[in-house]
Amino acid sequence: MTLYAGERTMDGAIVTRDGAPLNPRHDVANFSRVGLEWGFDGGPARQLALALLCDYLGDAARAIRLAPLLAEQATARLPNEWSFDDVALGRLVAELDPGGSRS
């Protein structure tokens, strides 16, 4: 099981995957110059959605397609500190893309 977590510190927002920094995946798309953020609508929340989807799905094209939806439904609504596992992320993805499957 994979655990994703985010917290805000004096040094800024930190997002991890199993305790290690989550790759923001700027190589796939760059929605944010400030990195990964959450709790509001905008590019940083979309970048977080993209990073989570790329990690979970392993499919950059599908991640780009679903990132705006995941940002709107989830990452823009997260509290200051949060965590969820890949099972919870999978449920969100299934709601956003019912006909899709995990790669």
* Domain boundary assignment for the chain: 3-85
Taking 90 as the threshold, does the pLDDT of residue 81 lie above it?
Answer: yes
Q: List helix spans (H) across the chain.
A: 43-57, 60-73, 86-96
pTM: 0.94
The pLDDT value given to residue 99: 78
Please give the single-letter amino acid code of residue 12: G
- pLDDT tens-digit profile of 29-64? 999 988 899 999 999 999 999 999 999 999 999 999
User: In this structure, what are the phi and psi dihedrals at residue 33, rounded to the nearest 5 degrees?
Assistant: -85, -15
